[in-house]
């Protein structure tokens, strides 16, 4: 009994330690911003815009969602919008492009606690789809995209394991990368 | 003279079709590495250490032969490095711009890919 309790507290300690390590890593990579740069002259790069975000309260996965973590920047197929999955805020931020300027339009709300990390578009005929790979739940969320005058509208059509519907992943897995194969419209995922 | 020109053009096209350059970054050796992919064999063409200590993300403007590298800058300063690329894998540093810490991904946008968007 005592022996097993010792094991429990030891594993709690390991878990606490690993949480500390994770939070140090998180702090290291946290400036919660989106920026744009002029690169027309490759020998003289310069900043254009910068937007920094905050969270009023931590998200459902508090140790990873203590602050906004903007993790990817994706140009949409029309080249009129940039999508930015924000792991800390459970959002996909959307920016409308005008020349080399951008401004934020309504973001896409992700599944709470999912932590969207990377995204990818697929165009099939006249239909456009957007997928996010979610690090905290190891899941893929699929959206249909409808382009309206006010901007693109995203409708969530599925959310399932990054190892496929009904699938499961080994403990400690962190979904990292998603790519759409242009030849066969297959989603490929790396963890 | 004219036939010589045509011949050398044809040769350079064959050369570029038979080999492909892949660019990779690593925190471990702090380098941007240009690799030659020929069939199923990879070999190192060049390495650059001009993208700081944590080179993390590459965006290639293939049409302009320009490569942008983000340095996450955990231990030091974060930055964006621009390179001119060439078919032989050489990387020619053009500029290093200090930026806010922790840039992790970028995409080109705007007319003629004149702007780069960065997520932090």
- Whether the CB of A27 is below 8 Å from some CB of chain B: the reply is no
Residues 6+ apart with CB under 8 A from B92: B83, B84, B85, B86
The domain segmentation of chain A, as residue ranges, is 53-190
- Whether the CB of A102 is below 8 Å from some CB of chain B: the reply is yes
What are the chain B neighbours of A34 within 8 Å (beta carbons)?
Answer: 117-120
Residue of B nearest to A79 (CA): B109
pLDDT at B8 over 60: no
What confidence tens digit (pLDDT) does each residue in B27-68 have? 999 999 999 999 899 999 999 999 999 999 999 999 999 999
What percentage of chain B reaches a pLDDT higher than 90? Answer: 80
Total structural domains within chain B: 1
Instruction: Give residue A17's pLDDT.
Output: 46
pTM reported for the whole predicted model:
0.84
Among partner residues B104, B109, B119, which is closest to A79 by beta-carbon distance?
B109
CATH number assigned to the domain comprising residue B54: 2.120.10.30
Cβ-count burial A90-110 (b if 16+ within 10 Å, e if not) = bbbbbbebeebebeeeebbeb
Angle at B46 between CA B117 and CA B119, to 5 degrees: 15
Q: Which of A18, A9, A14 is nearest to A64 (CA)?
A: A18
Provide the pLDDT confidence category of residue B92 given band limits of 50, 70 and 90.
Answer: very high
- Whether the CB of A95 is below 8 Å from some CB of chain B: the reply is yes
Residues 6+ apart with CB under 8 A from A180: A120, A121, A122, A131, A186, A187, A188
Whether the CA torsion A31, A174, A63, A159 is positive or negative: it is positive
Instruction: Give residue A189's pLDDT.
Output: 85
Instruction: Give residue A184's pLDDT.
Output: 65
Under CATH, which architecture does the A53-190 domain have?
7 Propeller (2.130)
Structural domain harbouring B67: 19-119
What are the chain A neighbours of B74 within 8 Å (beta carbons)?
Answer: 28-29
Evaluate whether B99 touches A47 at the Cβ level (below 8 Å): yes
Instruction: Give residue A190's pLDDT.
Output: 86
CB contact under 8 A, A50 and B100: yes
Provide the pLDDT confidence category of residue B75 given band limits of 50, 70 and 90.
Answer: confident
Determine how β-strand B105-109 pairs with β-strand B115-119: antiparallel
Q: Give the gap in angstroms from C-alpha A98 to the nearest C-alpha of chain B.
A: 7
Under-70 pLDDT residues of chain A: 1-29, 184
């Amino acid at each position: 009994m005592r022996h097993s309790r010792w094991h429990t507290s030891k594993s709690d300690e390991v878990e606490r330690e690993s949480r500390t390590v994770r939070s140090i890593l998180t702090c290291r990579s946290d400036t919660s911003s989106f920026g744009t740069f002029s690169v027309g002259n490759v020998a003289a790069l310069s900043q254009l815009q910068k937007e920094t975000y905050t969270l009023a309260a931590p998200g459902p996965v508090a140790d990873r969602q203590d602050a906004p973590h903007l993790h990817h920047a994706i140009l949409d197929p029309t080249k009129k919008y940039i999508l930015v999955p924000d792991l800390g805020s459970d959002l996909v931020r959307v920016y409308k492009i005008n020349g080399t300027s951008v401004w934020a339009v309504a973001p896409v709300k992700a599944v709470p606690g999912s932590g969207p990390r990377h995204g990818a578009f697929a165009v099939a005929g006249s239909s456009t789809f957007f997928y996010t790979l979610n690090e905290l739940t190891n899941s893929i969320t699929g959206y249909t995209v409808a382009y309206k005058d006010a901007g693109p509208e995203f409708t969530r059509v599925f959310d399932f394991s990054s190892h496929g519907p009904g699938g499961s992943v080994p403990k400690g897995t962190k979904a990292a990368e998603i790519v759409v194969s242009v030849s066969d419209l297959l989603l490929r995922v790396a963890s | 003279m004219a036939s010589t020109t045509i011949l050398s053009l044809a040769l350079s096209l064959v050369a570029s079709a038979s080999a492909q350059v892949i660019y990779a970054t690593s925190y471990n050796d702090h380098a941007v590495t240009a690799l030659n992919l020929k069939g199923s064999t990879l070999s190192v063409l060049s390495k650059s250490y001009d993208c700081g200590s944590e080179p993390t993300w590459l965006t290639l403007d293939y049409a302009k032969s320009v490569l942008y590298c983000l340095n996450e800058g955990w231990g030091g300063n974060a930055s964006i490095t621009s390179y001119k690329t060439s078919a032989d894998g050489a990387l020619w540093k053009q500029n290093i711009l200090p930026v806010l810490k922790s840039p992790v991904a970028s995409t080109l946008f705007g007319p003629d890919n004149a702007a780069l968007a960065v997520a932090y």
